[in-house]
């Protein structure tokens, strides 16, 4: 059922003169008001259950989009609780009848040591998506998993807060976490958010360790044809200006020149740690290769 433009609920009184109409511009607003999930009203209407109870008040769904449902004149207002309880019992029995057979119930993931943070996170993602390769690149848990697999088991446990550390070790451990995140390519703000510390704490640690923020790569230059070496080995860049500078042109003439050279620009998002050894990237107007140059 499509999301309606408006919803009108009637808060029922002991008689029609005490009823109060409440207008909502969207279904989700009405659902939040009565503290129900966003599909509750849709399910109620499809089941022809226009009366419900919320926060010790009784409501009637008067309008739902272009549909109108009049309050019955013979509605027994003295026994509304009994009517609602009957509706809820019917709904509960219907939901139970729709439960899948035991052989179709999704199996629980195997239990492992709760301190094995990396394996637990991997199993959770595989259970949710079916395979780790199906997890979207933007998934924050996948990004965290990649980071954890670059740590030792004890560091991963510390990072997830599963193991107690002495106060004297806290600063050392925090510096290690900051170094790994900054080296991977996370920004100062993202590092502070992941570690739940202030931006200034991250900046102080970076200054102490001589760390510098790395660029994120939003573009890749790829060959149009398979005969072009850049078809299989794209060139990553942070800005369009950087690409134009590398090809010794300006932004207005960049795309015609790339078409002439049989290149195309694709949108992407990669941090430094996402680049594989051997990947080419732009540093200013120079092409560098990860692992081959001084990073």
pLDDT tens digits, one per residue of 22-40: 898 888 888 888 888 878 8
Three-class secondary structure of residue 56 per DSSP: coil
Residue 2 falls within a domain, yes or no? no
- The tokens describing 191, both together, are 């590092």
* DSSP character string of the chain: -PPPS-EEEEE--SSGGG-EEEEESSHHHHHHHTT--TTHHHHHHHTT--EEEETTEEEEEEEETTEE-PPPTT--GGGHHHHHHHHHHHHHHHHHHTSPPGGGSPPPPPP--TT-HHHHHHHHHHHHHSSGGGS-TT-HHHHHHHHHTTS-HHHHHHHTT-S---HHHHHHHHHHHHHHHHHHT--HHHHHHHHT--HHHHHHHHHHHT--PPPPEEEEEEESSTTSGGGTS-EEES-HHHHHHHTTS-HHHHHHHHHHTTEEEEEEEE-GGGSPTT-EEEETTEEEETTTS--
**Phi/psi-derived region of residue 47, left when phi > 0, alpha when psi is between -120 and 50, beta in every other case:** alpha
Residue 60's nearest CA partner among 82, 44, 39, 78 is 44
- The reply to whether 21 and 91 lie within a common domain is yes
Residues 131 and 172 placed together within one structural domain of the fold: no
User: Given 3-state DSSP classes, what are the helix, strand and coil percentages for the chain, each rounded to the nearest 5?
Assistant: 45, 15, 40
Whether 145 is in a domain gets the answer: yes
Residue 150 shares a structural domain with residue 201: no
187 with 118, same domain: the answer is: no
Task: Show which of 55, 72, 97 is a domain's final residue.
Answer: 97
Over its C-alpha atoms, the chain yields an Rg (Å, rounded) of 29
pTM beyond cutoff 0.85: no
On whether both 279 and 245 belong to a single domain, the answer is: yes
For residues 209 and 229, state if they share a domain. no
**Given pLDDT bands bounded at 50, 70 and 90, which one contains residue 112?**
low
- The verdict on 14 and 79 lying in the same domain is yes
pLDDT of 197 > 70? The answer is yes
The answer to the question of residue 73 being in a domain is yes
Q: Is the domain of 192 the same as that of 251? A: no
CA–CA distance from 202 to each of 187, 199, 205, 226 (Å)?
10, 5, 5, 44
Are residues 120 and 89 located together in one domain of the fold?
Answer: no
Tokens 């002991």 correspond to what residue? 14
Q: Could you say which of 46, 75, 97 is where a domain stops?
A: 97
Range of the domain at 188: 165-214
Residue 210 resides in a domain: yes
What is the C-alpha to C-alpha distance for residues 27 and 25, in angstroms, rounded to an integer?
A: 7
* Residue 154 resides in a domain: yes
- What does the angle CA 203 – CA 214 – CA 148 come to, to the nearest 5 degrees? 80
Inside any domain, residue 118: yes
Tell me the pairing of strands 235-237 and 280-283. parallel
Residues 11 and 71 in one domain: yes
Distance in angstroms (rounded) separating the CA atoms of residues 272 and 180: 12
Considering 71-80, 132-141, 197-206, 279-288, the range whose residues carry the highest mean pLDDT is 197-206
Tell me what the mean pLDDT of segment 45-61 comes to: 86
Task: Copy the structure tokens of residue 255.
Answer: 């795309």
User: Into how many domains does the chain fold?
Assistant: 4
129-185 per-position pLDDT tens digit: 877 878 887 888 888 887 777 776 666 666 666 656 566 677 888 888 899 899 999
Residue 113 has pLDDT above 80, yes or no: no
């Amino acid at each position: 059922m499509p999301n309606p433009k408006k919803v009108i609920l009637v808060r029922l009184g002991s008689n029609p003169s005490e009823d109060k109409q409440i207008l909502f511009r969207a279904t989700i607003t009405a659902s939040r008001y009565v503290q129900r999930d966003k599909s509750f009203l849709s399910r109620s209407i499809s089941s022809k259950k226009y009366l419900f109870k919320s926060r010790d008040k009784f409501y009637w769904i008067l309008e739902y989009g272009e549909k109108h449902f009049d309050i019955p004149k013979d509605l027994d207002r003295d026994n509304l609780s009994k009517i609602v309880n009957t509706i809820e019992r019917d709904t509960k029995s219907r939901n139970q009848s729709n439960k899948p057979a035991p052989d179709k119930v999704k199996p629980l993931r195997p239990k492992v040591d709760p301190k094995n943070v990396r394996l637990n996170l991997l199993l959770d993602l595989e259970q949710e998506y079916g395979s780790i390769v199906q997890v979207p690149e933007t998934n924050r848990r996948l990004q965290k998993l990649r980071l954890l697999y670059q740590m030792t088991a004890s560091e991963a446990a510390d990072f997830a807060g599963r193991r107690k550390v002495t106060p004297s070790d806290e600063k050392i451990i925090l510096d290690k976490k900051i170094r790994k995140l900054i080296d991977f390519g996370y920004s100062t703000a993202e590092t502070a958010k992941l570690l739940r510390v202030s931006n200034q704490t991250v900046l102080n640690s970076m200054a102490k360790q001589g760390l510098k923020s790395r660029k994120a790569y939003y573009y890749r230059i790829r060959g149009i044809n398979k005969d072009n070496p850049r078809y299989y080995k794209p060139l990553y860049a942070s800005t369009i200006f950087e690409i134009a500078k590398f090809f010794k042109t300006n932004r207005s003439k960049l795309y015609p020149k790339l078409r002439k050279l049989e290149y195309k620009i694709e949108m992407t998002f990669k941090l430094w740690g996402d680049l594989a050894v051997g990947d080419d990237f732009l540093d200013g107007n120079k092409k560098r290769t990860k692992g081959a140059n001084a990073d």
